[in-house]
Structures are given as C-alpha cells and as structure tokens.
Chain A
Amino acid sequence: MLEVRGLSKRFGRAGILAVDGVSFAAAGGEVFGLLGENGAGKTTTLRMLATVLQPTSGTATVNGHDLVTEATAVRRQIGVVSSEPGVYDRLTPREHLFYFAGLHDLPRAEAGRRADRLISRLGMEEFADRRSAQLSRGMKQKVALARALLTDPPVLLMDEPTAGLDVTSARVVEEFIEESRSAGKSIIFSSHIMSQVEKLCDRVAVIHRGRIVAAGTVTELKSRSLQERFEDVFVRLVGEEA
C-alpha cells in the first residue's frame, strides 16, 4: 500500500539534512509507527508523504502512485491528521467537511451523506453546526479525523494526533486508528509516546537524526536489544546513535 524508498530532505541554504534516506513499507490493515524524539524527522517525513514538502531525493509509492511524479494522484490516496487539528474557526464542522469534499471533487449529495455518516460515527452531532471557534481541542480533532476519512482514503498519515488532547479525546483517536486498521487502511502513525506506539502499532521504525535506526515489531525490537520495557529499547537505540 505504501512503500518509502530512500527518502531524504535537506532544508535551507545551510543544507540541513532533516531526513536521511528513510525507507520503509506499510501494508493495508497495518499501523506503522514512526517513533522518535522531537526534531528527529518524523514530521518532515510525513509532510513529504503528504506532498506538502518535496523530497530532496528518494521517493515513495502510495497505493501505486509515485510521490514525486504523481503528487495529485497521491493526494487522493491519503488522509492527513496532525497534532494541530487545522480547523477553520468561522466555519462549522459540517461546512469544513463540505469544503474538503469540494476540494476532493466529491459531488455535494455524496459529500452530505459522508459528512452525516462521519458526524454520527464520531459523535459530533451536538456540535456539527456550531462555529468551530467555540469547540474544544478534542472536538476539533474529531473534525480533523472526519476530514481525513471523508474520501475514504486507503492511506492515513497521522502526525502525533493525540498531542495536547485529554485522555477521553486521545482514546477517540486511538479507537479511530484501530477501526481504520480493521477497515484495511494503511496507517503511518508518528509519536514520541512509547505506550501508545506499543499499544497501536503493528510495526515500528525508530527514527533519530533523520535516519531509521531500527525497525520491526515491538516484540522484535525488545528481543533484539534484550530489554523488557519498550522505553528502554528506545533509549538504548537512540543512545547508541548519539
């Protein structure tokens, strides 16, 4: 479903290497975790996969479409959720969904049906027609989840989607990820919260200073590094690289 091959990104005149030859693959029905500290390169990797940033080198295939040469086609295959809900304050959640449906060329009637379904599924009925400025962060993140699923994309890119959320709202996001996996979607999930990665991800890549330093299932990584706690695995991997 998603295959990343040697993806790199350099920034600015100084040519800072934010992502350095990252490669991984995620199949349908799989949650693939990108685990790393702040500034490790997770967000830059996900932004490249979302076609918002151009890779300096390397590429990826998203549901058969090349990231570099078929960016528009890739955008039709992905749903994006980040730590910042990115919701328009003066629009209602329903208007927000209609806007993104329009950007994805969904006919209005179909957009209405999908919006209704997602509003019901995520329990947004109470606030679906209220201006978003009045909504809590958790409510806004539900709008972002609905937006990501609006076109029923096969690939979901989720960059620290529970950051800043209370426990209940974070739980909604986690359930969303689990349901999406069951629906056969390929989910790239970035986080620096070990427990969450351990709970949600089928496979994990530990990213440090722009490079993947280890990849595998959580169990594999634990056994490879002879650690019982996943946090210790991570500290050891990152420490070895430091």
Chain B
Amino acid sequence: MKRSDFSWRHVGVVFRKELLDTSRDRRTWFGMVIMPLLLVPLLLLAMPVVVEGQMEKVRQATVRVAVVGAAHHPGLVDHLKGTDAVEVVTAGDPEADLADRRIQAIVYLPEGLAESLAAEIPAPVRVAYDGSDQNSVEAQGRIVRALSAYSALIVAERLAARGMDPVILHPLGLSVENLAPPRRMIGFALGLIMPMMLAMWATLGGLYAAIDAAAGEKERGTLEPLLSAPPARIAVVLGKYFTVVLTSMIAAGISMLGMVVAFTIRPTALLGPGAAGTASLAEVLPPAAAGTIFLVALGLAGVFSALQLAVSLRARSFREAQTYLSPLSLMIVMPAVFTQFMAPDQVPTWFYYVPLLNSLMVFKEALMGIVNPGHIVTTLAVSLVGIRLTLGFAVASFRREQVLFRV
C-alpha cells in the first residue's frame, strides 16, 4: 500500500458512516448513554442513602440481650434494663438463641460479682455476640457502652467515698474537629468512585461500536465490499477508530455529567461525616481538573478503542467478539478496585508508568484538587505510546488475510 493512497477524506467518510450506523444501534446507546447516566448518580446518591438508611434502621432497632448469672448482680441488670433500646430477656439456651438470632447479645456475670465490686476487686464480665449479624454487632456496642457507663458510676462512687472529685479522671477535655474543607471532603468521596467510573466508560463505552465496526462487518458480509473500495486500509481503520474513541468519550463525558447531576441534586451527599458547609461545582471541578480528566480519558479511550477493534476483528461474529472482549471489563475493574483507597500522592512513582493505573491515579488527583504536571505528562506520554502500539496492531490486523478471512 502506497502512502499516497491514504486520504483523510476517506477517514471522514468512514467516520461519518460509522457514527450514523452506531447512533442507530440501541446497544451502543445503552452502553454509551443510559448506563453511565444512571450508574453514576446511583452510586453517588442512592447508594449512600440506602446504606445510611440501613445503618439507621440498625441503630433504631431494640436489641434483645440475655444475662447469664443475673442473680449475681441484680443492680447491674437493672442498669442494662434502663439502657435505651435494650431489652433484657430470659433465655433457656442463650448461645443457641444467639445463633438463631432470637437474641443479639449475651452478658455473662460471674458468681460473686456484687461482692467483688463491694470489695473493690476487679471482676470479669464477658459479652458475647455474633460478628456476622449487623444487629448483634450494634448490640455489643450498646452493651459495652452501658457497662462502661456503669463502671464509671462505680468509680465515681468510690472516688466520692474517698472525698475526691471524679473529674480528676478526665484531665484532657477532648474534642475532635475535621479541618478538611468541604471541597476536599467532596474530592475524597469522588476520588473513591469516579476514577473507576471514568476508566470504565472511557475504555468500555465504545465496546459495542468497536465490535460492530469489526466483527459486525465480517458477520454481515460488508467487510469484503468495503475492502475492495479504494480507501487505504489505514483510512478504514482510522475512520472506525475515531468513531469508537468518540463513543467512549461520550460515555465518559456522560458519566461526568452524571456526577454533576448528582452533585447538583444533593451536594451534601458527598460530604463525609464531620464535615460542614458545602462547595460549589466550580470549586470541585475547576477547568484545570476538567481538562486533565478529559485528556487522560482521551488517552485511555485511544488505547483501548484500537485494542478492541483489533481483537474484535479476530472474531467471526458479534457474539464471538463479545466473548473475547468480556474479560476486558475485569481487566479495568480489578486495578480500579485495587487502587480505590490509595492516596495518589503516596503511591510509588512506577504507578504512573503503568497504563490504566496511571490514569486512575491522575483522575483521583484531579478530583482531589491535586495538580501534578509530572504525573499528567507521564500518563499522557504512556498513553501516546499505547495508542501507537494498539493502533499499529489494529492496522496490521486489518491487513492480515488470516485475520480478515480466518484462513
């Protein structure tokens, strides 16, 4: 193929056709628009509400507690009975009842407890619970707090008997304050979820378009007339490639739009516990951060679009291509989950030389308000090398008869 055979006009012709074709494909719309538009607000808004609602339900529920050896200290049992949302019950076989979730905790009072306390001898009190049951975990917390409060009462009485003020036990007036401004708290929350979302849509948003443009052409029998038309193979590949990149970028853009929608609807949903106030969208996503996210997402889309085209071309049918490409989602989600709780400014430098890992970290930085030009440039340079390699692979695949006709 001579270089002079290549024409950008042909790239445009193929691109426009692919765009028209893919815009009429319901699967592409589902993957490109509907999923990112729904999933991001769902994760940012609905999930915290559901989780918080569940936690609140657990906090509100009355827990049933059995006391073994209640006769050894009726006063302590009365104290437990007086505790909010704690019901002291009688159980024939407390451990079986705990296993069956009929009760949520067991308190074991040792023999001679009252006497030990009177003699100021420390006495062991055991609390048993079921760690696999959220209500039981909550019950354990309440009982331990109630027993600690009772313990503090006894200490106060003992100090008073010795003519001492119980306040001497608390020399430090402790208070805790979260100084992270709302912008940082929101950035931290977004940094947990959005890098994965952005990476997913920038890489997989164009999956159906890629499969349709390669394996789909083969399956429909349209590849042969296309390849016997004048455009150079590289023009055909580029036309298809730009369509897949654009589709991926639209998906990534829509996931960002989902984030903006979620933020606009309920900005406080992203503030963690202990944070006050709120931040504007311009503070959370300044132009530099948005620009960085756009460029890095474009790099990711660039690498993965070519890879998907090349792999899809190796399949005989749409379904076969889906089988080949489905592990790709795992390849993207795994590092995203792996790095979810990592601080981007504390990971080793080599992270920024590994494709995908670097993008995930730079997304996180941008959302957290960190601008590290070195990280951005390294990530973009790695993506450019990746694009050169994967696009070269895609063009080579479109030139290989064995791949085109599986001969």
Contact residues of A with B, CB < 8 Å?
11-12, 47, 50-54, 71-72, 75-76, 78, 80, 82, 84-91, 95, 99-100, 102-105, 131, 144, 147
Contacts and interface: CB of A to CB of B under 8 A. Distances in A.
B228 to A, nearest CB: 4
A76 B225 contact: no
Given A76-B230, A80-B228, A12 B407 contact: yes
Contacts of B21: 88, 90-91
B202 to A, nearest CB: 25
B229 A88 contact: no
Interface string B217-231: 000111111111111
7 nearest CB pairs, A to B: A84-B221, A102-B13, A50-B228, A103-B229, A86-B221, A90-B24, A86-B222
A99 to B, nearest CB: 5
Given A72-B230, A87-B220, A90-B25, A100 B20 contact: no
A75 B225 contact: no
B233 to A, nearest CB: 10
B401 A100 contact: no
Contacts of A99: 13, 17
B230 A103 contact: yes
A95 B18 CA distance: 12
Nearest to B1: A71
B2 interface: yes
A95 B222 CA distance: 14
Interface in B1-51: 1-2, 5, 7, 9-10, 13-14, 16-17, 20-21, 24-25
B254 interface: no
A85 B221 contact: yes
A12 B402 contact: yes
A52 B222 CA distance: 12
Chain B interface SS verdict (over half): helix
Contacts of A89: 220
A85 B402 CA distance: 22
6 contacts: A72-B2, A80-B228, A86-B222, A86-B225, A95-B20, A103-B13
Q: Which of the listed residues A50, A86, A104 has the most CB atoms from chain B within 10 Å of its own CB?
A: A86
B362 interface: no
Given A47-B224, A104-B229, A105-B230, A72 B401 contact: no
Given A95-B20, A102-B10, A147-B225, 10 more contacts: A12-B402, A12-B407, A50-B224, A50-B227, A52-B228, A82-B221, A88-B17, A88-B21, A90-B24, A103-B226
B11 to A, nearest CB: 11
Nearest to B24: A90
B225 A80 contact: yes
B359 to A, nearest CB: 32
Interface of B: 1-2, 5, 7, 9-10, 13-14, 16-17, 20-21, 24-25, 220-232, 401-402, 404-405, 407
Nearest to B399: A54
Nearest to B17: A99
Chain A interface SS verdict (over half): loop
Contact of B10 (A54, A103, A131): A103
Nearest to B9: A105
A86 B220 contact: yes
A181 B16 CA distance: 35
Given A12-B407, A103-B10, A104-B229, A86 B5 contact: no
A71 B1 CA distance: 8
Contacts of A76: 230
A75 B229 contact: yes
A235 B121 CA distance: 112
Contacts of B13: 99, 102-103
Q: Which of the listed residues B5, B222, B229, B405 has the most CB atoms from chain A within 10 Å of its own CB?
A: B229
Contacts of B225: 80, 82, 86, 100, 144, 147
Nearest to A13: B402
Given A99-B13, A99-B17, A72 B221 contact: no
Given A72-B2, A90-B24, A82 B232 contact: no
Given A72-B230, A90-B24, A103-B13, A80 B224 contact: yes
Contacts of A87: 220, 222
A52 B224 CA distance: 7
A72 B5 contact: yes
Contacts of A91: 17, 20-21
A78 B228 contact: yes
Contacts of A51: 227-228
B397 to A, nearest CB: 15
B51 to A, nearest CB: 42
A141 B326 CA distance: 34
Q: Which of the listed residues A47, A54, A82, A99 has the most CB atoms from chain B within 10 Å of its own CB?
A: A99
A71 B230 CA distance: 8
A88 B222 contact: yes
B369 to A, nearest CB: 44
Contacts of B229: 75, 100, 103-104
A203 B10 CA distance: 37
A213 B232 CA distance: 36
Contacts of B14: 103
B230 A82 contact: no
A84 B321 CA distance: 21
